[in-house]
C-alpha cells in the first residue's frame, strides 16, 4: 500500500447533524424555486433525510431553540377581578372559564394578541404547538 491514495466521492455516512443545521436545511428547501434534490446535492446528503426532517418539523418533533415553550407568569384568580401581575408588567385579564369547564380539565390559553385557545387536558402536544405557532404568525 505504498503511495496509494483513495478518493471517496460518495456521500458521507453517519454524519451527526445538529438541530440548527437541520432547521437551516429544511428552511432552504422551502425557499421559492428550490428543490429538495438540489439542496441535498449541495450539502452531500440523501434526499430522504431532508424529507424526514421536513416531516419532523411539520409534526412539531423538530423544533429550534426559539420554538421551545417558555415559562410565563401565571396568576390564579378566584373572583371576577384581579390586580395586574407585577412581574409581567402587563395587566392580567380575568379568565372567563366557567366553574364546570375548570372542573373538567379545560385549559385556556390567552395569547399576547388577545386570542384565546381552549383545549382539553388530553390535548396532543405536537398538535397544540402547531396551532399556537399558526396563531402567533
Span 61-88, average pLDDT? 58
99 pLDDT more than 60: no
The tally of CA atoms less than 13 A away on the side-chain side of residue 59 is 8
- The confidence score (pLDDT) of residue 81 equals 45
Cα 39–17–125 angle (5° rounding)? 95
Please tell me the distance from the alpha carbon of residue 19 to that of residue 25, in angstroms, as a whole number. 10
Percent of the chain past pLDDT 90, that is, above it, reads 23
Please tell me the distance from the alpha carbon of residue 94 to that of residue 56, in angstroms, as a whole number. 37
Query: By CB neighbour count within 10 A (0-12 exposed, 13-18 middle, 19+ buried), where does 26 fall?
Result: buried
- The confidence score (pLDDT) of residue 83 equals 43
70 pLDDT more than 70: no
Amino acid at each position: 500500500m505504498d503511495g496509494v491514495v483513495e478518493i471517496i466521492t460518495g456521500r458521507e455516512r453517519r454524519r451527526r447533524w445538529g438541530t440548527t443545521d437541520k432547521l437551516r436545511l429544511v428552511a432552504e428547501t422551502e425557499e421559492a424555486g428550490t428543490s429538495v434534490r438540489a439542496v441535498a446535492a449541495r450539502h452531500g446528503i440523501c434526499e430522504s433525510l431532508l424529507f424526514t426532517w421536513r416531516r419532523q418539523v411539520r409534526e412539531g418533533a423538530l423544533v429550534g431553540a426559539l420554538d421551545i415553550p417558555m415559562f410565563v407568569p401565571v396568576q390564579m384568580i378566584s373572583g371576577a377581578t384581579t390586580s395586574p401581575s407585577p412581574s409581567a408588567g402587563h395587566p392580567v385579564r380575568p379568565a372567563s372559564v366557567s366553574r364546570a369547564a375548570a372542573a373538567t380539565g379545560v385549559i385556556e390559553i390567552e395569547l399576547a394578541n388577545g386570542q384565546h385557545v381552549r383545549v382539553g387536558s388530553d390535548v396532543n402536544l405536537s398538535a397544540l404547538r402547531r396551532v399556537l405557532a399558526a396563531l402567533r404568525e
